[in-house]
Amino acid sequence: QKDQKEHQIQEYLDELAFLAETAGAITVKRFYQKLPHPDSRTFVGKGKLQQIAEYIQGKDIDLLIFDDELNGSQISNIEKEVKIKVIDRSDLILDIFARRAKTAQAKAQVELAQYQYILPRLRGMWKHLERLGGGIGTRGPGETEIETDRRIVRDKISLLRNRLKEIDKQAFTQRKDRGEFIRVSLVGYTNVGKSTLMNLLSKSEVLAENKLFATLDTTTRKIVYENTPFLLSDTVGFIRKLPHHLVESFKSTLDEVREADILLHIVDISHPNYEDQIGVVNKTLQELDAFEKPILTIFNKMDLYEKNTFDEWLEADTKKEIIKDLEERWQHATGGNAIFVSALERTNLEMLRMRILDKVRELYRIRYPYKT
């Protein structure tokens, strides 16, 4: 039990490190602490914070990242102690999204989320500026200054909301113009291989990178398998503890998922926390009212799974047995809607195409019974 907990914490920190790398940082050290409640002033306890500060002192380190959301005064209290910049997981995710946003919609969505994130933290940030200014004669802002700032931020937020509403309207019309095609959406935790599979299924070139959130904007492609056309779109990757505001501002990107007819849920079976990730995706789908749609679960990266799971000396029969058990388990859990592939080694892709085609045809038959 204890080991498992420990393991989980390490996995979470691995993910945070991976996020940090995606944002261009190199991580040098990890700390964690088990507390019944986070400290209201500094999140971690006093001793732990001192330990962190001592570690940082004299080293070439410029950023401290927390895996949980901090409030404005916690950030400023911690910064006072460690004397370097402090951000939290939400901040980091927002930063990554901001770097990757390309379309006007994605940019506005990220900006909206950023303003919503800073609004409740304005007071803490002012305190912070006051301290940086330091010295005699510098005076912190009065309530009026904080109020003015709040008003500016609020105005920005409503401006962005309006802009997004406009973009939404256009997007809705565009989606309607796509006509009567069956729509298939790829969903999944980030970095599971959505873009790679999108490329393989549609033979297009969508950026695939070993980074989190390589896909921010949805891409939609028309595909024809054996004379049956349908639309395939790639969506933003889901992740645990996605900042609340980000989920809200990405609602319209997620409309793609909400309006899809069929979902392909991609899972990275080689990831130690893959079951957790399935849970995060399912929960998000429930929040989007999309969980009742037909879902085909695609267990990807089977090549890596085999590499990580099997020692060389293990007999081929035993390996087969283990994989068979795994497949049976998930076929059972998904009501027979599971398929095991490797996008990298192109294993089972033809079968995957046929499974998708079956589902698409079935829906066309239900929807347009007189046409065929």
Q: Is 208 in the site for ligand GDP (CB under 6 A)?
A: yes
Between 77 and 277, CB nearer to ligand GDP: 277
Report the alpha-carbon distance of residue 197 to residue 191 in Å, rounded.
Answer: 11
Query: Exposed (0-12), middle (13-18) or buried (19+): which is 367, by Cβ within 10 Å?
Result: exposed
Minimum distance, C-beta of residue 249 to ligand GDP, in the bound complex (Å): 20
Q: Is 210 in the site for ligand GDP (CB under 6 A)?
A: yes
Q: Is 196 in the site for ligand GDP (CB under 6 A)?
A: yes
The beta strand positions in the chain, using DSSP E, are: 63-66, 85-88, 183-188, 219-225, 228-234, 262-268, 295-300, 338-340
- Residue 67: both structure tokens together: 């895996």
Between 209 and 287, CB nearer to ligand GDP: 209
Number of residues that bind ligand GDP (CB under 6 A): 21
CA-to-CA separations, 87 to 25, 118, 184, 254, in angstroms, rounded: 13, 12, 37, 27
Minimum distance, C-beta of residue 21 to ligand GDP, in the bound complex (Å): 13
Q: Is 190 in the site for ligand GDP (CB under 6 A)?
A: yes
- Measured in degrees and rounded to the nearest 5, phi and psi for residue 207 equal -55, 120
Site string for ligand GDP, 256-295 (x = CB under 6 A): ----------------------------------------
Report the alpha-carbon distance of residue 305 to residue 347 in Å, rounded.
Answer: 13
- Residue 254: both structure tokens together: 């997620």
Minimum distance, C-beta of residue 195 to ligand GDP, in the bound complex (Å): 3
Report the alpha-carbon distance of residue 112 to residue 108 in Å, rounded.
Answer: 6
Question: Sign of dihedral through CA atoms 152, 242, 21, 203?
Answer: negative
Among 109-117, 118-126, 166-174, 188-196, the segment contacting ligand GDP (CB under 6 A): 188-196
Looking at residue 221, its amino acid is: R
CA-to-CA separations, 221 to 37, 230, 247, 289, 350, in angstroms, rounded: 48, 8, 24, 24, 19
Q: Is 237 in the site for ligand GDP (CB under 6 A)?
A: yes
Q: For 275-294, b where at least 16 C-beta lie within 10 A, e where not — what string?
A: eebbebbbebbeebebeebe
Site string for ligand GDP, 312-351 (x = CB under 6 A): ------------------------------xxx-------
Report the alpha-carbon distance of residue 202 to residue 185 in Å, rounded.
Answer: 13
Q: Is 202 in the site for ligand GDP (CB under 6 A)?
A: no
Minimum distance, C-beta of residue 255 to ligand GDP, in the bound complex (Å): 19
Minimum distance, C-beta of residue 347 to ligand GDP, in the bound complex (Å): 8
Q: What is the DSSP string of 220-243?
A: EEEEEETTEEEEEEE-PPB-TT--
Q: Is 192 in the site for ligand GDP (CB under 6 A)?
A: yes
Q: Is 193 in the site for ligand GDP (CB under 6 A)?
A: yes
Q: Is 124 in the site for ligand GDP (CB under 6 A)?
A: no
Between 113 and 266, CB nearer to ligand GDP: 266
Site string for ligand GDP, 297-316 (x = CB under 6 A): ---xx-xx------------
Where does this chain bind ligand GDP (CB under 6 A)? Answer: 188, 190-196, 208-210, 214-215, 237, 300-301, 303-304, 342-344
